[in-house]
Chain A
Amino acid sequence: MTEPRTSEPVIRMRGATATLGARPVLRGVDLTVHAGEVAALLGANGSGKSTAVRSVIGQVPLTGGTVELFGTPLRRFRRWARVGYVPQRTTAAGGVPATVREVVASGRLSRTRLRPPGRADRAAVERAIGLVGLTDRAADSVNALSGGQHQRVLIARALASEPELLIMDEPMAGVDLASQEILAQTLREQVAAGTTVLLVLHELGPLEPLIDRAVVLRDGCVTHDGPPPEAVGQHALPGHDHVHPHAASEPARTGLLT
């Protein structure tokens, strides 16, 4: 870790309000993430967690409140290389074939901007691909990858700029178990190196041990901000995947067959 942990917040959101169409999605959200912290935004679908994280990086305009990144108001923030962003996607592919390396390299543009990439930039791209375990697939088309590998490409793209803050929107959605483990490992290494992380999650899942703080949103308001809530009942079981508790709690044969 090169930088000492300071109390300077990396993200500071105050009284944020936002609407989608006429519907209020954020109704006064406060969110502060300090350097080196791993914070998870949790909540049901429609709770506003994705909107909150997207307004942090200026993708959704706020109707009220303020956002600061690294102490700079969002409007004047320019040092985007410090931020790695993983949007909510099911695919890393576009309308034209592209290799893993080509997609990941586009994450380096926050440092290179309009100049051509140098040796250090290429090395950073290779390193990012290595971090997610795709070195042997670097020259392959992303079209040939599985869903979990797509997600790993998106994360490598965010890591290519060697960011201090990693913002991920549902990085575990649709990811197979093997890739989940690799993603958790990648994240663990980033956290150990001092990267600040803000995650949007549907459930804590395999990333739970990494998370310092959970912020739970409900109907556009923060309802919990503190240690991750204890998972209870069926939700605590590994591999739990939105199955209605009653459906899973009953062994298949009893009750049907005697």
Chain B
Amino acid sequence: MEFLTPPFMQRALVAAVLVGITAPAIGIYLVQRRQALMGDGIGHIAMTGVGLGFLLSTNPVWMATLVAVAGSVVMELIRWYGRTRGDIALAMLFYGGMAGGVMLINLSDTGSNANLTSFLFGSLSTVSEEDVTAIVVLAALVVLVTVGLRRQLFAVSQDEEFARVTGLPVRALNLLVAVTAAVTVTVAMRVVGLLLVSALMVVPVAAAQQISKSFRATFVLAVVIGTAVTLAGTVTSYYQDVPPGATIVLLAIAAFVALTALATPLARRRARAREEDPGQCTLEVPAARPAGDDVRV
């Protein structure tokens, strides 16, 4: 338990737990809507926020939150109105955000390539007190939304057209998912880095659904997996001097592989338990044609 002693590790572990909870909690709705890569796009856009933070010498986490939220709102608007050209517009947004971030960081006095790398791939030693405060506040918001509105978000993400006919405020809820995802990206940014944020939103959910039958079980299991891999990855990177983001994501993928291996026999057993064996086909198939049948066409 020596890793608990240094203050930077305490901060990193708090951040890691919160990331492990929040990323799968919002990620499950993105996966349900089949927008698993949306988090990746928001991560790209958030880069501009980080760059602005450096340029204006404010906290990059708050700046990234602002820009990511704005970006996610624009993404939702593109989804509503830009049916056909939507993906091109999104590409512009993502790469523009990324390029803008790199440019702004280089323009600033405080920003350096080392700084940039720490935001792209995560870095434990650079999580400041301020960052922890920001992460705690933002994570609380994410949990409030994803748990408090789980029924409504489930309905909207499961079948948007049907949800509209139930009279739910579908646009507002979609916007809320997008904004919450943006907030989660910035929560996770310090620990796993902007380029790997999306993995933590998607992979624990994908791993959980290998063995779960219900949405509720998938949600709980994904959060458990997310928390386990972020904690394990953080501790590993303390001892082994490996990048935390990459370690966490590789652990999550390992969990996915392990659960998939476990699930295959489980699913087979479930299927067998459900179906009473109908036995072999018993219908007597008559011989195709009597031997002496004289065929003339």
When A and B form their complex, what is the total count of cross-chain residue pairs whose Cβ atoms lie within 8 Å?
A: 105
- Chain B residues with CB under 8 A of A98: 154, 158, 214-215
Report yes or no: B152 in contact with A114, Cβ–Cβ below 8 A.
yes
B287 within 8 A of A: no
The contact of B167 among A92, A113, A144, A256, by CB within 8 Å, is: A113
B171 within 8 A of A: no
- Contacts known (A106-B155, A109-B155); A94 close to B165, Cβ less than 8 A: no
Report yes or no: A97 in contact with B209, Cβ–Cβ below 8 A.
yes
Report yes or no: A87 in contact with B162, Cβ–Cβ below 8 A.
yes
A99 within 8 A of B: yes
- Chain B residues with CB under 8 A of A83: 165
A19 within 8 A of B: no
* Interface hub of A85, A96, A114 (most chain B Cβ within 10 A): A96
Q: Which of A124-172 contact B (CB under 8 A)?
A: 139-141, 144, 157, 161
- Chain B residues with CB under 8 A of A140: 213, 274
A159 vs B283: C-alpha distance when bound (angstroms): 40
- Chain B residues with CB under 8 A of A117: 151
Report yes or no: B218 in contact with A109, Cβ–Cβ below 8 A.
no
How many residues belonging to B are interface residues under a CB distance threshold of 8 Å? 38
Q: Shortest distance in angstroms between B148's beta carbon and chain A's nearest beta carbon?
A: 9
Having A78-B167, A95-B31, A112-B151, one finds 12 other A-B pairs with CB under 8 Å, namely A81-B166, A95-B33, A95-B157, A97-B212, A97-B215, A98-B214, A102-B154, A106-B154, A106-B155, A114-B149, A144-B213, A157-B162
- Contacts known (A96-B32, A96-B215, A257-B297); A109 close to B166, Cβ less than 8 A: yes
- Contacts known (A81-B167, A107-B166, A110-B167); A144 close to B218, Cβ less than 8 A: no
What DSSP secondary structure best describes chain B's contact surface? helix
Report yes or no: B151 in contact with A59, Cβ–Cβ below 8 A.
no
How many residues belonging to A are interface residues under a CB distance threshold of 8 Å? 39
- Chain A residues with CB under 8 A of B87: none
**Chain B 209-229 per-residue mask, 1 if CB under 8 angstroms from chain A, else 0:** 100111111100000000000
Report yes or no: A87 in contact with B161, Cβ–Cβ below 8 A.
yes
- Contacts known (A106-B158, A144-B274); A95 close to B163, Cβ less than 8 A: no
Report yes or no: A87 in contact with B274, Cβ–Cβ below 8 A.
no
B129 within 8 A of A: no
A10 within 8 A of B: no
A81 vs B218: C-alpha distance when bound (angstroms): 29
What DSSP secondary structure best describes chain A's contact surface? loop
Report yes or no: B213 in contact with A257, Cβ–Cβ below 8 A.
no
A–B pairs, 10, beta carbons within 8 Å: A79-B167, A87-B161, A89-B159, A96-B28, A98-B158, A98-B215, A99-B213, A102-B215, A102-B216, A110-B166
B168 within 8 A of A: yes
- Chain A residues with CB under 8 A of B217: 97
**Chain A 70-85 per-residue mask, 1 if CB under 8 angstroms from chain B, else 0:** 0000000011110101
Report yes or no: B168 in contact with A58, Cβ–Cβ below 8 A.
no
B205 within 8 A of A: yes
- Contacts known (A85-B165, A94-B159, A144-B274); A106 close to B32, Cβ less than 8 A: no
* Interface hub of A117, A141, A256 (most chain B Cβ within 10 A): A141
The contact of A96 among B167, B168, B205, by CB within 8 Å, is: B205
